[in-house]
Each structure stands twice: as structure tokens, then as C-alpha cells.
Chain A
Amino acid sequence: MSTKDEKDRVELLQGTLDLLILRTLRLGPTHGHAIAKTIERNSADVLQVEQGSLYPALHRLIKRGWISVEDGTSENNRRAKYYELTAKGRKQLTVETAKWDKLTRAIARILRPAGQEGKT
């Protein structure tokens, strides 16, 4: 999040951070810092996520039972909390992804109706 220029950054829509976290955790259990890094890397640093805002979101997901947390050891041998997708979370990810696709398609249709490009 530090390599792109400010004007290229996009602020995250409310609720989408949860989706991103779930998606990231589908690759396997990992700790908070690594989640932040993965989201940054995968969005090619476009998405502007304050790393701190990750934590309220993680705890919200735990409470909903979509992810679980366990103590583990990080790559450089430090104690860290590892977050892992639960079965319920996996299902939720499918639902949320489908919803997201629908939403983006709908918005895209409104913004660029078929055959009317350029008229607006």
C-alpha cells in the first residue's frame, strides 16, 4: 500500500473487506499481517485498506462463526494468531461471491448500458 500514488487508490466499499478476508483465508490459515499483505499484493496495491481496520473485521467474522482462530507460529518463529475459514465461512464465501458478482454486473449494466456506450 505504499508503492502506488495516492490518486490511483480506491477506498473499500463497506462490507467488502469481509469478503476479501474470507477469500484470502481460502488459501489456508494465516495470521493478521499476512492477510493484509496478501490483500495488498493481490489487488496490485490498488485497494486502500488501513491495515488496522482488518482487526475489527476479523473479530466480527469470528463472532459470526465464519472463521476460527488458533495460536500458531509465524514464518520467523514468533507466536501469532492464525485465522482459518470454517465450513460455515466457506459457504458464506460462495454466497457473498455470488452476490458480489450480481451486484457488480448490475452496476456495470447501469453505468454502461449495452449498445449505449458513449452516449452518457
Chain B
Amino acid sequence: MTRGQRALENLDREINDHIEQETLDNIARGMPPEEARQAALRAFGNISLVKEDTRAEWVPVWLDQIVQDIRYGLRTMRRSPGFTVAAVLSISLGIAVTAVVFAAIKAVLMNPLPYARPAELVQLRSEYPKMQEQAHSDWVLWNDTRELLRRTHTLDSLGVYGNAVFDLAGEANAPPEALLGVRMTASLFPVLGVSPMLGRNLLPEEDQPGHRDVMILSYGLWVRRFHSDRSVVGRTVNFNGQGCLVIGVMPPDFMFPLRTVAARTPSPYMEFWAAPIQEYPNPSAQLRAVARLRPGVSLEDARQDLASISRALAHDFPARNRDRILTLNFLSDRNVRSAGKALLVLMAAAVLFMLIGCSNVANLLLARGLIRQREISIRLAIGAGRWRIVRQLLTESCTLALLGGFGGYVLAAAAWEMLPALVPVSIPRLAAARADTAIFGFALALAITNGVLFGIAPALRIAGSDYNIAWSGIGSRGAASSRHDRVRSLLVAAEVALSVMLVVIGGQVMVSFVRLITTDPGFQADRVLASVVLPARERYRNRQQRGLFYKRMLDAVRLVPGVESAGTVDALPFSGENHGGSASSSDAPGAERLEAEIDFTGGEYLQTMGIRLIEGRWFREEEMTESNDGAIVNKLIARRLWPGASAIGQRICVDCTPERPQNWKRVIGVVSSASHAALGEPEKGNVYLSANAMQEAAFLVVRTERPLGEMARAVRRMIAAIDPNQPVFLSVSMRDLISDSVADRRFITLLLAITACLALAMAAFGVYGVISYTTASRTSEFGIRMAVGASPSDILALVFRQSFTTVASGLAIGLGLALICIRSMGGLLAGLGSGNSAFIWIAAGLVSAIAGLACWIPARRAMRVDPAIALGHE
């Protein structure tokens, strides 16, 4: 029973007691019982009215008044539907854009890691202080992790993992599938603080070398391949041609590592977590490790701890730990990267857009305030307090804003339904963004803020205006109106300034994005299909078998009709796979070692990719043998290692490490440079080797005239003919891979561009509305001017000059602010800082033209005023 119900019941009882008591008194005075009761009821009065009045006392007066005001506000809105629709739409759009960005921020920044106590989680990494740039160094060796656990006093626990591919044998209705997942130590999930939805975590003995394979399934895999069958836990399933015990299923929202690549790139998502890690026996295998800091330990403490351990390890294990230090980053830093800053810039843009909407609505309210001035004056005259009037007007604008907030939420929810499908995005956790109750609350809170923002100035002005002026018939054209005009001009200038800022910044980002995607990657991506084929270690037990399989596959694919050329590589550009190493022309200890991408290429890989030969020759088919020492280098390596001389025939030491100091190759060709990790990246060294290409291969590329989808099916058929159990992990066009590599920037750019376009449109309508309104209210003035001799073009010039002065001041301010933003925030958003002054002027010109048009149309209308009619109008 609620408090209200209980209070009502108490009141009922009290009234009944009262009447009974009165009845008894009446009986005592000698009345017959029936009459006594009637008399008591009569004396009491109308019982339900009494109850109603009493209940009314319980509700606070202010609440009652607010309800009244809201009701009144809704009634006024219904009376002027045009105004209501325009205002609600303005607010809805502003709130929708802000809420869309907020949902992204909430998912990506406020809750970046879906694990327990995420602020304590760190990713371990290896750094070589003597080399300048190391892009991919989130790795450690197995021995490092054992020694760390033994020596650390800052890390609580540590989990080790590495990527793995499992082949799932085909079934009646399901083709064989290659699944990407993780092999890990039993400690990993406890470090993250997660456990399966069904079944259990790994037991410590299950990650020991030699233990049979055990795995935990992802929810998606469980649903897709095991039809959500709970009994799969505890069953042995055929993976990689051998048995693997399923011990659990993770919940649907679990993901580790977090996905940081776009949809079509290889490794779309992790589908299992298995043990043991196979690389145990290999002491130089690069593994990943996540650790949890001890409570109260800062990142800096832990880094110092690891640095001193690194020094000890360099002494104890010089072969692998000399020159290398272990350090760590927050796991969340690694995941959020630059996306966070870009989202904050987007948020700022969204707020600016919302402010344009606010000033639009404020203008509408001001205009309407004039119409309502008489109503307000009557209220003031009969004794309403000014504060009461302000409150009523604010309640009305908040009601309006709340409607807008609701609309904004609906729009934002719809946007989040559509956005992920429109643009593949690799920003981690963005997939978790949706319009939930928090976003709803955010939208409503924004709405109230909006309501006060755009409501307060008009409310104060209307309630504060002198009602005598309003009473006299010229109220709307007299002194009050000039004050309104000043506020209105201010709002117009602000609107124009904000929209110029957004358009210039949005345009800048868009132009630099277009320039990025039209950058030449250094190879011909069109008509190239890449397939990821990873022969399972379990089925192709040694490198020879693996090499033979790849060679058969390459030869078979070359025969597929429509294939112009085909080749293989171990690390395809834009696949996320990088095999960084070094190249030098001398093995002397102090010799310069260039950082270089080292790729093993088989078949006509370089020709298929459309990389240009500058000097020398291509690899020959027979050079894919173990002993071959041929190397093709890109022109950066040739230029840097042998300046002024031909590279052909030179000796090059590839990946010469202390353990393997004599890996000498001979340069047979020089090729153009191609981007490997990202479009527009600075030119980097690249060395292509042919020896062992088949054993190392992981990607199969073909160049074809046929449609790529058709070709992908043909390639799959050909591979199935060689080994029906060999799944193709993925077939994708190089074009798509490149496009996915800029997915984040495309997403941010798209949102910013949409915001800028909406801002431009909204500001244009705002300016148009205000100028039309003020011009229309000056009709009689124009009539007089014309009557005393002004020509229509004088009127046009007058109106246009007056209104465009306001617009121009907004333009100037906005342009200045935009330039300041571009200068100072260049680092926050990719593409923002790139100098592109020509475009800034184009954008400013566009806004000027549209704003000018918004002034011109009303001015034209003013010009056509007929003096006779205009004067008769008064």
C-alpha cells in the first residue's frame, strides 16, 4: 500500500469515527437512531468534497501550479502547431545528435573495458630503448612472464595468451570453418575477473604443456554451431582433426581481446578461449600478457618495478633480454587509442549544434512573446508576480523542450539502429553503444537544460516588459520591439557564428579524409582478391607438409579461369598482420639498422598486387627454396642503405640479431614503396624474400577480371577440391581491406559532416525566420518610406544591408573561432590540423551565400510592399 493510499484510509476512518461520535451524541440528546445518523451526516456536509479538499492539502502548492502551467503550456502549443513543430524539431535534432555522440562516449570512454575493476588491468610490452619506433610491441616472452611473477611486487596476477586458429570439421549442413580464438593460461580469466555463463573456468593443471586441449566457447559460436545445446559442456568436440574438451560457454557480451579492427579485416572476433598455449616450448615466441596491478599501486610504480626487473633479466638472460625492457600500459589506453579524443571533439560539435537549435527556439519564443504580451500584461495587471510569470514561461519552454528531448531520444535510438550498418567501425566497444535508459535520462536532462537556456531570455524579457507599452496598440512596434530586436540580432549572429565554425571544421576534416582515401597505397588494390588460408598445425604437422599444401593450392588457383596472376604472402598489407624486422648493409656492431617490414612472398605476389619494379627483376618460381638468398627491397631501403649506388647485387643483412648474426641476402630487385599498415603512413622500409615462401604463407592473393564474389567462390571450390577439410578463413577484396582501415575516421567524419550540414540548414532557417519576421513587422515603415519617395530597390538595399550586417559579424566571429580551433585542436582529430586554407574560404563562402540568401528573400518581399496596402494595414 502506498503512502497516499494509507493516508486516504486513515482519513476515511477518521471521518467515519467523527460521524459515529456525532450520531451517538445525537442519540444521547434523545433522537431516534436513524434520525440521529441523518442529522450527523447533514452536520458533516459533503463527505467526498471534504476528502477531495483534504487531499488537495497534501499536494504542495508549487507542484499543483507546475501541473497547471504544463497543462496551460500544452494548450498553447496546440493552438499554434506551426510554432510547436518548428521548435520541437529544432530541439529534437540538437538533442539527437548530442545523444548519439554521448552513447558512443558512454560505451567507448566511460566503460571501455567490460571486465572487473578495469582500472587495475595493464598490458605488458617489450621496448627496445635503442630503436626509435616500435609500432607493435605489446608482446613478451614466456620466460619473461615466469620471471616477472617470481620477482614483481607491483603485479597481483598475470595471464598470458596468444591468437590461435582452430579448424572446425564440416558437418551435414555446415561447411568446415576456421575459427579465430585465443590460447591462454588458466590465470587469464581470473585476472580479468570473468567466468563462463555455462560450465567453468580453466583449472590450473589444464594449461600445462602436454595436457589435452580444453576450450571455452564464445556465445556466438555456441549458438551458431552448437544450437545453444547446454549439453555441449563436458563433451569432446572435433577441432583440428582431434578431440577438444568443451568446458564452458562465455556470456554474449564477453569479448577478449577487444575487437580493434573493422568488420571485414581478418580476425573479426574471438570465438573460443582454449588451453594450453602451444608456444610454451618455443622460447622466442611472442605472446601477449595482461596483468592486474596490486591495489593502490600506480602505473608509474609498476613501470619502475618492471624496469628494475628488466635490468636483472638482461643480466640473467642476455640472449633474449639484453637491450629489451619490459613495461606496461593501461589495457584501456591500448584499446581506446585516438578514438576517445575524436569522440570528445564530436561531442563539442554536437553541443554547438544544439546551441544553434536553442537560439532558433529562443528566437521563435521571442517572436511569439510579442503576440502573448497582452495576455501576460493582463496577468501582471491583475496581480500575478513577475517571478510567477517567469516560472510559467519557463515551465512552458521546458515542456516544449521535454517533447523535443523525447523526440531526440527516439531519433538517437533510430540512428544507433542504422549507424553500425552504414559504416563498419573498428573503434573498440562502439558496438556496445546503444540508446539505453541512461541515454534517455541524458536526453531528458539535456532537454531541461535546453528549455532553461532558450527559455530564460525570452521569459525575463516578456515578464519584465512594461505592460503599459504592451497595452497601447503600438506595443509590438514601439520601444519593446527595439529591445527584442537587439536580442534577436545577437542570437542571429551567434547562430551564424556557430554554424560557420561547424561547417569550416567539418569541411576541413572531410576534405582531409577524402584526400586520405584517395592516397595511393603504392599498389593496385582494384580487382585483387585476398583469401586467408591457415593450414592447421594439427593436420599439417610440419613445415614441409604445410609448404606442399600451399604450393598445390597456389598452382590450382592459377588454373581457375579468369585468374590473371596469383601469389602468396605471410603478412598482407591492411590485414593487421605486420612482420616488422630490420635490414642493414653491414653486420658491424655499430652499423645502421633500418626498421623494415619483412615479407615472404610466393608466386607472383608482387606483380599481383601491382607493385612496380624499378630496377632488377622479379622472383622466379624456383627461388622459393630454403637455400635461396634473393631479396627484393623497396626504394627506401635501396636509397638509405646504398645512397648513390645501385642496390642490385648488394648484400643485405635481414633481421640480423645477436642470436642469428649472419642472415645475409642478395638484392635482385628494387620496387616501389607500398603502405602496409595504414593509408598515408610515412614511407617505410620493406624487404621481400622468396625462400620458404610456401611454408610461411597465410594469404593467397589473385588478380582477376571476374567479379570478386564469383572469384571468391571459385577459389573456395578449388581449395575444397584439394583438401575438403581446409576452411577458408576469409575472402575479401583489397579495396575493402583498405576501406576498413580508415573506418574509424570515416565514422567520425561522417558524424561531423552530418552535424555540419544540419547546422548549416538550421542556421539558415533560423536567420530566414528572424529576418522574415522583423521585416514583416516593419511593413508600415516601408510603406511610409515608399510613400515619401523611396524606390523598391532602396528598400531592398536597406533591409539587406541591415540584416546582412548582423550575419556578417557572425560570419567573422565564427570564422575566427574556427581558425583558432583548427590551430589549437589539430592534434585531437585526424585531419583537422592539416593546413588547407583554400577550403576554409570555400566553406566560409558557402555559409555566407546561404546566409545571404536567407536575408535576400525577406528583403525581396519587403521591396514588393504596396504603400497603400501597408499604410491601410495600421
* Residue ranges of A at the interface with B (Cβ–Cβ < 8 Å): 1-2, 31-33, 36-37, 50-53, 55-56, 59-60, 63, 74, 76, 78, 80-81
Neighbouring A residues of B11 by C-beta, 8 Å: 55
Give CA–CA (A51, B23) in the complex, Å.
13
Give CA–CA (A78, B14) in the complex, Å.
11
Is A51 in contact with B22, judged by CB distance below 8 angstroms?
A: yes
* Residue ranges of B at the interface with A (Cβ–Cβ < 8 Å): 10-11, 14-15, 17-18, 21-22, 24-25, 39, 43-47, 49-50, 53-54, 56-58
Neighbour of B57 across the interface among A36, A56, A78, CB < 8 A: A56
Neighbouring A residues of B45 by C-beta, 8 Å: 50-53
Give CA–CA (A19, B837) in the complex, Å.
79
Q: How far is the CB of B699 from chain A (nearest CB, A)?
A: 78
Residue of B nearest to A36 (CB): B18
Q: A56-B54, A59-B57 are in contact. Are A51 and B17 (CB under 8 A)?
A: no
Is A55 in contact with B14, judged by CB distance below 8 angstroms?
A: yes
Is A55 in contact with B54, judged by CB distance below 8 angstroms?
A: yes
Q: A33-B21, A56-B50, A59-B57 are in contact. Are A81 and B43 (CB under 8 A)?
A: no
Give CA–CA (A85, B586) in the complex, Å.
102
Q: A33-B17, A51-B22, A55-B50 are in contact. Are A2 and B57 (CB under 8 A)?
A: no
Is B17 in contact with A78, judged by CB distance below 8 angstroms?
A: yes
**Which of A51, A60, A81 is most buried by chain B, counting CB atoms within 10 A of its CB?**
A51
Q: How far is the CB of B43 from chain A (nearest CB, A)?
A: 5
Is B50 in contact with A53, judged by CB distance below 8 angstroms?
A: yes
Q: How far is the CB of B436 from chain A (nearest CB, A)?
A: 39
Residue of A nearest to B42 (CB): A2
Give CA–CA (A56, B47) in the complex, Å.
11
Neighbour of A81 across the interface among B10, B50, B58, CB < 8 A: B10
Q: How far is the CB of A32 from chain B (nearest CB, A)?
A: 5
- CB-based A-B contact count at 8 angstroms: 56
Is B54 in contact with A33, judged by CB distance below 8 angstroms?
A: no
Q: How far is the CB of B46 from chain A (nearest CB, A)?
A: 7
Could you write out 19 A-B pairs with CB less than 8 Å apart? Answer: A2-B43, A32-B18, A33-B17, A37-B25, A50-B43, A50-B44, A51-B18, A51-B45, A52-B15, A52-B45, A52-B47, A53-B50, A55-B11, A55-B53, A55-B54, A56-B50, A56-B53, A74-B21, A81-B10
Q: A2-B39, A33-B21 are in contact. Are A52 and B10 (CB under 8 A)?
A: no
10 interchain residue pairs of minimum CB distance: A50-B45, A52-B50, A52-B45, A56-B53, A59-B57, A33-B21, A52-B44, A56-B54, A33-B18, A51-B44
Is A52 in contact with B46, judged by CB distance below 8 angstroms?
A: yes
Neighbouring A residues of B39 by C-beta, 8 Å: 2
Residue of B nearest to A61 (CB): B57
Give CA–CA (A59, B18) in the complex, Å.
16
**Which of B15, B39, B43, B46 is most buried by chain A, counting CB atoms within 10 A of its CB?**
B43
Neighbouring B residues of A32 by C-beta, 8 Å: 14, 17-18
Neighbouring B residues of A1 by C-beta, 8 Å: 43
Neighbouring B residues of A36 by C-beta, 8 Å: 18
**Which of B24, B25, B39, B45 is most buried by chain A, counting CB atoms within 10 A of its CB?**
B45
Q: How far is the CB of A37 from chain B (nearest CB, A)?
A: 8
Give CA–CA (A31, B53) in the complex, Å.
19
Give CA–CA (A98, B21) in the complex, Å.
34
Give CA–CA (A60, B9) in the complex, Å.
18
A52-B47, A63-B57, A78-B17 known, 13 other contacts, Cβ within 8 Å: A1-B43, A2-B39, A32-B18, A33-B18, A50-B43, A51-B18, A52-B49, A55-B11, A56-B54, A56-B57, A74-B17, A74-B21, A81-B14
**Which of A31, A52, A55 is most buried by chain B, counting CB atoms within 10 A of its CB?**
A52
Residue of A nearest to B24 (CB): A76
Q: How far is the CB of A4 from chain B (nearest CB, A)?
A: 13
Neighbouring B residues of A76 by C-beta, 8 Å: 24
Is A59 in contact with B54, judged by CB distance below 8 angstroms?
A: yes
Give CA–CA (A76, B53) in the complex, Å.
29
